[in-house]
Amino acid sequence: MKQIAKDLLDKLGYAVINLNSFVETDCKWGPNILVYALNDLSTRQSKPLKIVQIGANDGSEDDPLEQFLARNDCTAILIEPMDHPFAALKEKYLHRDNIHTVQSAINDIAEDLIIHYIADGSGKPDLSVYSSTDRDLVETHLNWQKQNHSGLERHTVLSKAIRAETVKSVLERFDMTAVDAIVVDAEGLDHKIVQGFLRDGIEPKIIRFEFRNMSRRNFHETRAMLLERGYEIARSGIDIYCQKAGLLR
């Protein structure tokens, strides 16, 4: 059966690649293309991969990198601005010397940003995956949660100032001069972060970012920059997966 499928795909001009990994899903959103590619890339490279994740949350909930980091010896910088999820993230990787956790927001310039987040009736942060600089977006997420889940009647949106750093300053701190992959989940700011990497001349082999909270204009601007720099682009659920052309061939 495998050979029949391969022969049919060959006739259609498709190449079948052995990704050397088991079938894995990206949380509830579908196949985790990112992990397939990272697993394959790690078998091809003679040295450990270098990965940067922006918006790492707690390192567990809906985290596309969690299983890859657990099984592979790579160097990673995991960045999360919010106190509560960052504490869990730091604890999770406390004994992994090659995985660095950073509590910071990421921005074009170093400055204070106002981050909006969901809190329960006592003011304790909750549903941390929805934190953002866009208050309207956080309000939208909270309203949807209230409509679809019970026990959230007293939840509200609060705000706090958080210091932001530039990507370059974080990379310099850990002496990371090259990056193999970046993973971004910044609740509406993904385009700014991806474009910032590209403008700074940082072109990883693999880029993944969430696009569902982007405007059409911001998405098309980001897509154009990626295509200009030789990336192949595919949609995976609510995310966009990008790789340098020919990477897995």
Domain count, the chain: 1
pLDDT digits (tens, 9 = 90+) for 91-106: 999 999 999 999 999 8
User: Average of pLDDT values for 34-54?
Assistant: 90
3-state secondary structure 191-233: HHHHHHHHHCCCCCCEEEEECCCCCHHHHHHHHHHHHHCCEEE
Residue 132 lies in a domain: no
Q: What is the CATH number of the domain that holds 83?
A: 3.40.50.150
Q: Give yes or no for residue 166 having a pLDDT over 60.
A: yes
pTM of the model: 0.82
| Residue 213 placed within a domain | yes
Structural domain harbouring 71: 48-107+167-244
How many whole angstroms separate alpha carbon 241 and alpha carbon 249? 16
In a domain, 233, yes or no: yes
- Percent pLDDT > 90 in the chain is 38
On whether residue 183 sits in a domain, the answer given is yes
